[in-house]
Structure formats: structure tokens, C-alpha cells
């Protein structure tokens, strides 16, 4: 941003723009930088959150997974592939749309994003907090 402000000041010195216009441009540059900083801070806070997956089955085959959002794409895709290939866990993940969860994370959704309850009492919850 310093380089951009220097260019504006040079334009004022050279008489290409007046001082009022230069001041206005510098103010816009500062506001743009502040907005970028706030967005980065918001994204950083989101990346500090955790994706929590809870599976509670009627047969007491319970699963609890806590994953940092920072690692989610890689771990979630690999974990889903592994779970889908294990006969005991396949029935719990076959209807779980991993792409939906990844999309929710990319859009910085918060709170419960998946809530599945089966007729036999099994539940699957995916929460970002």
C-alpha cells in the first residue's frame, strides 16, 4: 500500500491531480487495506474452529471425531474413503455427502451442518464450532 500512496503523492506533486483528489484516493486505499485486514482476521478465526463428527449407533458403535478446520479437506476426504471401504462403518458413511461438508466449510458455515437420524436409532451429526 505504501507504494500506491507514493504514486498518489507523486501524481499530486506533478500536478496530475489536486491535493483534495489525492487525499480522497489515499483514504480509499486505507479503507481497502482495513477491509482486507478484517477479512483476513475473520478467515483466521474461522480456521481456528473445529469440525466435530458424532456417530451414535443403537448397537453402541459410537464414533467421535474432532478435526481442525485447517486440516479438514485432506483428512475428511481420506477418512471417508477409508470408512466407506470398511464393512462395519460403511453403512454409517454411505449416505454422507462429503462434498456438502467441504462446501459448507469453504462458505464458512457455522453450527450444525448435518443431522441424520435413522429409524433404528442411529444418529450422525456434523458440527462446526
In the numeric block, the cell 482476521 is attached to 41
Taking only the tens place, the pLDDT of each residue in 52-79 is: 889 898 888 888 888 888 787 677 777 7
What global pTM score does this model have?
0.47
φ/ψ of residue 59, rounded to 5: -85, 10
CB atoms within 10 A of CB 92: 19
* Eight-class DSSP state of 17: S
| pLDDT band, very low/low/confident/very high, at 44 (cuts 50, 70, 90) | low
Q: What is the mean pLDDT of the chain?
A: 81
Tell me: pLDDT of 86 over 70.
yes
Q: Which candidate, 96, 86, 84, places its Cα nearest to that of 123?
A: 96
Taking only the tens place, the pLDDT of each residue in 104-124 is: 777 787 888 888 888 888 898
**Set of cell numbers at residue 80:** 471417508
Rg, the chain, Cα only: 24
Amino acid at each position: 500500500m505504501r507504494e500506491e500512496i507514493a504514486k498518489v503523492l507523486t501524481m499530486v506533486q506533478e500536478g496530475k491531480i489536486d491535493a483534495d483528489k489525492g487525499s480522497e484516493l489515499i483514504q480509499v486505499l486505507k479503507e481497502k487495506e482495513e477491509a482486507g485486514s478484517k477479512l483476513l482476521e475473520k478467515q483466521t478465526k474461522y480456521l481456528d474452529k473445529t469440525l466435530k463428527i458424532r456417530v451414535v449407533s443403537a448397537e453402541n458403535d459410537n464414533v467421535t471425531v474432532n478435526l481442525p478446520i485447517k486440516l479438514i479437506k485432506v483428512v475428511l476426504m481420506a477418512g471417508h474413503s477409508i470408512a466407506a471401504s470398511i464393512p462395519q462403518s460403511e453403512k454409517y458413511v454411505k449416505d454422507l455427502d462429503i462434498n456438502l461438508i467441504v462446501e459448507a466449510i469453504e462458505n464458512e458455515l457455522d453450527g450444525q451442518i448435518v443431522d441424520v437420524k435413522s429409524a433404528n436409532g442411529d444418529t450422525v451429526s456434523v458440527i462446526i464450532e
